[in-house]
């Protein structure tokens, strides 16, 4: 993805990559890749540093979120594999957004419309959030109150609407801690089963 994003850089335009070459970069680690691009003069040292810092931060916080998975899943009654996949996809989407912020040339990242100037990077993030939110509403229809529905919304909202990876990791768990397991289990109870 990074190599694909680097196509935006002017230097890279002189030597653009075909899809096969892009896929070949999957075999390299990020530090290897950025050092190649820095040595080639495609990106400067400051940009290289920003990319590495962002990646390191996202990975560290993603791992921090993963370390809470057993608690989260016990408290939410969700499948660990699914929560893992969700976290990975959402952190990846945010990291992609962050890399775009670093690499997108400003003149190309805004669009003038009849209603004013639009930030294309923001549009991209919003369209993705729309899809995630829309899909969530399909899988957890309104009226079906459950821990799974609540937990899954907690996870995606935390990831997509927090701007810092540290905050994403914290908000990802939200109230789904071991201490809350019993209390949260009431979400799965049939409201009609208790007499008022």
Partner 1 sequence: MKESHKRGLDQSFLEISRVITKLKLSPAIVYFYDFLVREVCDAFAYFDNELTPRENRFARYLYKQLETIREEHYEMHSGHLHGLCEEDVDSVLAELDELTGIRAAKEKVRETANYARMQQARVSRGMKAIPTTYHAVYTGNPGTGKTTVARLMGRIFKALGVLKKGHLVECDRAALTGQYVGQTAPKTNKIIDEAMDGILFIDEAYSLAKGGQDYGSEAIDTLLKRMQDDRDRLIVIVAGYPREMEEFINSNPGLRSRFTRYIDFPDFEEQELCQIFGSLCRRHDLALTPDLKEKTLHHFHWQARNAKRDSGNGRMVRNAFEKVVHEQADRLSKSGIYDAEALAILEAPDLESPAEPAWREYKESGRGYIVKCEHCEATFSWNPAVELPVAKCDKCGREFNSEFGMLIE
By CB under 8 A, is residue 186 in contact with partner 1?
no
CB burial of residue 195 (10 Å; 0-12, 13-18, 19+) = exposed
By CB under 8 A, is residue 130 in contact with partner 1?
yes
Torsion 69-72-75-81 (CA) sign: negative
Site for partner 1 in 22-51 (CB under 8 A): 22
Torsion 146-149-154-155 (CA) sign: positive
Minimum separation from the CB atom of position 127 to partner 1 (A): 4
CB 172 within 8 A of CB 86: no
By CB under 8 A, is residue 1 in contact with partner 1?
yes
CB 75 within 8 A of CB 178: yes
By CB under 8 A, is residue 88 in contact with partner 1?
yes
For the packed helices 30-39 and 45-67, what is the interaxial angle rounded to 10 degrees?
A: 170
Q: Give the three-state DSSP class for 144.
A: coil
By CB under 8 A, is residue 53 in contact with partner 1?
no
**26 vs 195, beta carbon nearer partner 1:** 26
CA distance linking residue 18 with residue 68, whole number of Å: 40
By CB under 8 A, is residue 97 in contact with partner 1?
no
By CB under 8 A, is residue 161 in contact with partner 1?
no
CA distance linking residue 172 with residue 157, whole number of Å: 8
By CB under 8 A, is residue 156 in contact with partner 1?
yes
Minimum separation from the CB atom of position 95 to partner 1 (A): 11
By CB under 8 A, is residue 123 in contact with partner 1?
yes
**45 vs 158, beta carbon nearer partner 1:** 158
Interface residues toward partner 1, by CB under 8 A: 1, 4-5, 7-8, 13, 16-20, 22, 77-86, 88-90, 92-93, 96, 100, 104, 108-109, 111, 120-121, 123-124, 127-128, 130-140, 146, 148, 151-152, 156
């Amino acid at each position: 993805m990074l190599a694909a994003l680097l196509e935006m850089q002017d230097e890279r335009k002189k030597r653009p990559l075909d899809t096969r070459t892009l896929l070949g970069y999957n075999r390299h680690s990020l530090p290897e890749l950025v050092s190649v691009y820095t040595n080639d003069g495609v990106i400067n040292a400051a940009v290289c540093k920003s990319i590495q810092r962002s990646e390191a931060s996202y990975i560290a916080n993603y791992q921090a979120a993963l370390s809470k998975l057993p608690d989260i899943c016990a408290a939410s009654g969700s499948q660990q594999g699914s929560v893992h996949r969700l976290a990975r996809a959402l952190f990846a989407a945010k990291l992609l957004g962050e890399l775009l912020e670093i690499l997108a040339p400003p003149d190309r990242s805004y669009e003038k419309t009849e209603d004013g100037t639009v930030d294309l990077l923001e549009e991209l993030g919003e369209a993705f959030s729309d899809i995630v939110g829309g899909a969530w509403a399909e899988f957890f229809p309104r009226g079906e109150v459950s821990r799974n529905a609540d937990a899954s919304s907690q996870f995606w909202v935390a990831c997509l609407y927090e701007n810092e990876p540290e905050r994403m990791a914290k908000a990802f768990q939200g109230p789904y801690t071991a201490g809350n397991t019993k209390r949260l289990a009431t979400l799965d109870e049939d409201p009609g089963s208790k007499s008022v």
